[in-house]
Structure 1
Amino acid sequence: MIPSTFDYVAPTTVEEAVAALAEAGDDAKILAGGQSLLPVLRLRLSSPSTLVDLGRIGELRGVREDGDSIVIGAMTTYYDMIRDPLVQEHALLLVEATRTVADPQIRHRGTLGGALAHADPAGDLCAPALALDATLTAVGTAGRRSIPVADFFEGYYTTALHPDEILADVRIPKHTGWEARYEKFNTVAEAWSIVAVAATIQVDGGTIRQARVALTNMGAVPVRARGVEDALVGKAADPELIRAAAEHAAEGTDPVTDGNADADYRSHLARVLTRRAVATAVGV
């Protein structure tokens, strides 16, 4: 199908983008990578009056170090994140998850900011951002504000961004030396996750000092598996500990029943994938 008619704006600065959104009102859409938006436009599931393309704003790309954090521009592509040495060193979980997204063509076009702002519960980068305690910077007509990732996702395809705001960057505390693994289950290669688990673990002398585990597609928003984390921290990393801890994975979740899987099966997958992710991360 052919999208409905819309105005197209391609600003070259963040300020121009914010002004374009404010002028267009609530009916505007932002084009970041486009792999999720363009099919929706073609099917006319969305008919915006204005499309604001962020592709020409160079300041929204790249990775930099800032004290105890790294800062990733919202328009940084999946491909560039995977290859970036700062991300590899300080946010390995993000690399692990991004490698599983779609195919090489999509990874060359899709962007971190686009994925997070789209807020698809089956998307593969929201749970890693949650596990890494990211902070997201929004820019709008009222200025800049920081949003903790735990407050960013509000529901299915819904975020804390205001209609006149764009996502400018993502700040991630350095997880230097942490091991990481993203375990994903899907029935078709390169498809969305039915369930996935993002785990990043700090191990010292065989003991798990810190653990962050987050779940993909186990509810309307990504969720932390707090019961798993509490069961792991402070204990020696061994298979029996991990097996017992993984049994807590589905606690506090709200998985749906749909054409891909029912809720009970998703809960089962969460436990199995958590065990695999943690065991692989710590090497046992």
Structure 2
Amino acid sequence: MFPDEFDYHRAESVDDALDLLAEYPDAEVLAGGHSLLPTMKNGLAKPDVVVDIGHIESMQGIDRNGDATSIGALTTYAEIDDDEELWADATVLTEAASEIGDTQVRNRGTIGGNLAHSDPASDLPGAAIASDLTLVVEGPDGERRIDADEFFVAMYMTDLAEDELLTRIEVPRGDGATSGAYVKKPSPSSGYALVGVAAQVQVDDGTVTTARIGANGVMDHAVRLEPVEDAIEGERLSDDAVSAAAERAADDLEEAMMMDDLQASSEFRSHLLETYTKRALERAAERADATVTA
């Protein structure tokens, strides 16, 4: 299928892009293209104007500065997956990026486009919550910083205003006490997550001091599983503690509001959520043990 005709504008800078969005308030933004182009081809999106931000250099690359790592919104999944320091400093986010699509998708898709699209079945939103990301956006009034907890609002909806651009993501740099993992049950037809769980824990002398658990594919947007966090904090990462914490994965979630489609019922997703929360914590525990041993 072919999209309807549209006017194309290529932005050379963030300011240029913001000017174009002010001039064409109904324009769609094109980055890697994996979200926008399919919806245009099947007729779900019919923009009169497309603003291409894919060549803005200031929105690309990975920069380490002090206690945080800054990732440009146009950085591809492949660049993230290939960065060994990110695997150490931001394990959860990097592992989630490595699980997206196939090689071709990872070479073109961008972290900013993924997060701004807020697909409930995408891998990165839950990992963003678990990783305690800060999303930096720019608009007519300047720069604004949004915690990942507050960014995802509903299906395909975020706290990003129509006249703003997500320009970079800031990830707190982990230390030897931080461990994490992302695991998912992929859809057999698309590879998207039926359920994905991201777990990040800080461990001191074998005991979890803080935990952040995020999930995608369950509700209409990525969610934080605070009952699991409360259950595992203060505990050692033993099999019993992990199982007990995972049993609370759906405590704050209404089953009637869970995703329910041809891929999986809400009841099955609730079961998957507990199972994959346990697996994420188990993998995080294994990595924590490896760090201590090393």
Shift of 1:190: 5.6
| CA distance in structure 2 between the aligned counterparts of 1:37 and 1:244, rounded to whole angstroms | 41
Shift of 1:86: 3.7
* SS of residue matched to 1:237: coil
Asked if the contact 2:87–2:95 (Cα under 8 Å) also holds between the matched residues in 1, the reply is no
Q: For 2:266, give the aligned amino acid.
A: A
Asked if the contact 1:96–1:180 (Cα under 8 Å) also holds between the matched residues in 2, the reply is no
Is 1:255 matched with 2:255?
no
The correspondence of residues 1-284 of structure 1 with structure 2, limited to 5 A, is 1-25=1-25, 27-177=26-176, 178-188=178-188, 191-253=191-253, 254-283=257-286
Per-residue CA distance 1:122-145 (angstroms, 9 max, x = gap): 110011111111111111122111
Shift of 1:176: 2.5
RMSD: 1.4
Per-residue CA distance 1:43-84 (angstroms, 9 max, x = gap): 111111111111110110111123221111000000001112
| CA distance in structure 2 between the aligned counterparts of 1:179 and 1:133, rounded to whole angstroms | 13
TM-score, with normalisation over the residues of structure 1? 0.96
Shifted more, 79-88 versus 69-78: the winner is 79-88
Shifted more, 84-93 versus 1-10: the winner is 84-93
Shift of 1:258: 1.1
Number of equivalences: 283
Shifted more, 76-85 versus 205-214: the winner is 205-214
* SS of residue matched to 1:194: strand
Structure 2: gaps spanning 5 or more residues: 290-294
| CA distance in structure 2 between the aligned counterparts of 1:243 and 1:167, rounded to whole angstroms | 37
Moved over 3 A (4+): none
| CA distance in structure 2 between the aligned counterparts of 1:164 and 1:206, rounded to whole angstroms | 47
Q: For 1:149, give the aligned amino acid.
A: A
Asked if the contact 1:203–1:282 (Cα under 8 Å) also holds between the matched residues in 2, the reply is no
Q: For 1:204, give the aligned amino acid.
A: D
| CA distance in structure 2 between the aligned counterparts of 1:186 and 1:221, rounded to whole angstroms | 17
Shift of 1:189: 6.6
Asked if the contact 1:31–1:51 (Cα under 8 Å) also holds between the matched residues in 2, the reply is yes
Q: For 2:182, give the aligned amino acid.
A: Y
TM-score, with normalisation over the residues of structure 2? 0.93
Per-residue CA distance 1:186-237 (angstroms, 9 max, x = gap): 2417611111101112223222222111111221221111111111111111
Q: For 2:241, give the aligned amino acid.
A: L
Shifted more, 185-194 versus 147-156: the winner is 185-194
Asked if the contact 1:64–1:71 (Cα under 8 Å) also holds between the matched residues in 2, the reply is yes
Structure 1: gaps spanning 5 or more residues: none
| CA distance in structure 2 between the aligned counterparts of 1:160 and 1:237, rounded to whole angstroms | 35
| CA distance in structure 1 between the aligned counterparts of 2:80 and 2:175, rounded to whole angstroms | 16
Q: For 1:195, give the aligned amino acid.
A: V
Asked if the contact 2:149–2:224 (Cα under 8 Å) also holds between the matched residues in 1, the reply is no
Q: Which residue of 1 aligns with 2:292?
A: none
Shifted more, 220-229 versus 180-189: the winner is 180-189
| CA distance in structure 1 between the aligned counterparts of 2:158 and 2:187, rounded to whole angstroms | 28
Asked if the contact 2:97–2:123 (Cα under 8 Å) also holds between the matched residues in 1, the reply is yes
Asked if the contact 1:92–1:180 (Cα under 8 Å) also holds between the matched residues in 2, the reply is yes
Identity of aligned residues (%): 39
